[in-house]
Amino acid sequence: MDAVTVTDLVVDRGRRQVLNGLSFAVPVGQVTGLLGPSGSGKTTLMRAVVGVQQVRSGEVTVLGRPAGSPDLRSRVGYVTQAPSVYEDLTVRENVRYFASLYGMRSPEAEVAIADVGLSDGAGQLVRDLSGGQRGRVSLACALVGCPEVLVLDEPTVGLDPVLRVELWGRFHALAAAGRTLIVSSHVMEEAGRCDRLLLLRDGDLIADSTPTQLRADGRSEDLEEAFLNLIRAREDVAA
């Protein structure tokens, strides 16, 4: 069963085409990594999945409904790359507000705060936090809604390695509980932590694979090198 299916998706931003007719499916209950360099179209694709991106053509279906449908709004969580929380509220006030939007209460808010490791600083104003901590508040505000599909744009940027490992553990626990996660990253090192991988480059889908398969196809144990080999192979075909 697929949580998200994308068919022939074309997106323009300004005069530039940023997604060139992508088609793929994201299975339920897995962590799907969206990998690619900065500017490859990752954020645009994620925005299309949560239904805030104007698209030129193609279809995006989430949990069997067109992306952005009103009844998907309580079932899909989205965490933008730049933390989008209120700087002039405390951590707890932020998470409680988003909890109330999803029909949750303060116990759920406390759990979400604990999940991102911010229980000790829950009473602090977000403006007094570091960039990485703000990102975790933003993540907690999505986790608190217990969404079935969680779309996370570069959630681990700037985090210390211990916390990064903890968060990836958290993502896999959510997936094991039947949730679907789409996690973008520009760090190939994180690709190995995903169940499935989508590799984007210049608006094209280079690979829709698993880490194991990617290593085999790219003839390298190192995912970064495997990715490079795939791109070179494509360019050879194109030339």
Partner 1 sequence: MTATTTPPVRAAATHLSPRLTAATAARVLRQLRHDRRTIAMMLVLPSVLLGLLYLLWKDVPTLPGQPSIFDRVGLTMLGIFPFVVMFLVTSIAMLRERTSGTLERLLTTPLARLDLLLGYGLAFGLAAALQAVITVTVATTVYGLDVTGSVSLVVLIAVVDAVLGVALGLLASAFARSEFQAVQFMPVVVLPQFFLCGLLVPVDQMAGWLQAISHVLPLTYAVEALQEVGRSAAATGTMWTDVAIVAGAALLALALAAATLRRRTS
Residues near partner 1 (CB under 8 A): 1, 12-14, 28-29, 50-54, 63, 68, 70-71, 73-76, 78, 80, 82-90, 93, 97-98, 100-103, 125, 141, 145-146, 148, 176-178
Instruction: Using DSSP, state whether 8 is helix, strand or coil.
Output: strand
Which residue, 82 or 187, is less far from partner 1 as judged by CB? 82
Rounded to the nearest whole angstrom, what is the least distance from the CB of residue 192 to partner 1 in the complex? 22
User: Residue 195 corresponds to which tokens in the numbers above?
Assistant: 């169940």
Rounded to the nearest whole angstrom, what is the least distance from the CB of residue 71 to partner 1 in the complex? 5
Q: Report yes or no: 10 and 160 within 8 Å, Cβ to Cβ.
A: no
Cα distance from N-terminal residue to C-terminal residue, the chain: 37
Which residue, 131 or 178, is less far from partner 1 as judged by CB? 178
Rounded to the nearest whole angstrom, what is the least distance from the CB of residue 94 to partner 1 in the complex? 9
Which residue, 16 or 239, is less far from partner 1 as judged by CB? 16
What is the DSSP code string of 137-202?
HHHHHHHTT--SEEEESSTTTT--HHHHHHHHHHHHHHHHTT-EEEEEES-GGGGGG-SEEEEEET
Q: Report yes or no: 195 and 168 within 8 Å, Cβ to Cβ.
A: no
**Rounded Cα distance, 42 and 50, in Å:** 13
Rounded to the nearest whole angstrom, what is the least distance from the CB of residue 200 to partner 1 in the complex? 19
Which residue, 43 or 226, is less far from partner 1 as judged by CB? 43
Rounded to the nearest whole angstrom, what is the least distance from the CB of residue 101 to partner 1 in the complex? 5
Which residue, 57 or 84, is less far from partner 1 as judged by CB? 84
List beta partners, residue 20: 10
